Amino acid sequence: MSTVDVSGARWRKSTRSGEASSTNCVEVALVAVEWRKSTRSGDANQSAYVEVAFSGPAAAIRDSKAPANPPLVLPLPAWHAFLTSTKRGDLNLR
């Protein structure tokens, strides 16, 4: 089983957890990841491309033009299925 190291994560109380004085709440953390340009995103000088990052059992995908937007996060088996389908041409729109 894969795990994600959250020892260095910054935790904060979820805004959906009710009043501030409550001790029972949900906490969320952002885990730092290293984003890299997808190898299928065209030439190196292009400013708009897809970025991917891997953390434990998940793959995160984001648009380089909007890095502050939430990424699409997939379990690794779903990521591998997506790559396989893409390589076979199953997702071609032409």
Residue range 43-71, pLDDT digits in tens: 666 677 888 888 878 888 888 888 888 88
- Hey, where are the domains in the chain? 34-88
pLDDT (average), residues 4-15: 69
- Of 14, 57, 13, 67, which is closest to residue 37 (Cα–Cα)? 67
CA distance 35 to 52: 6
Q: Alpha helix (H) ranges present in 6-90?
A: 76-88
Give the three-state DSSP class for 70: coil
Per-residue pLDDT at 73 exceeds 90: no
H or E segment to which residue 40 belongs? none
Q: What is the largest CA-CA distance in the chain?
A: 56
H or E segment to which residue 52 belongs? strand 50-55
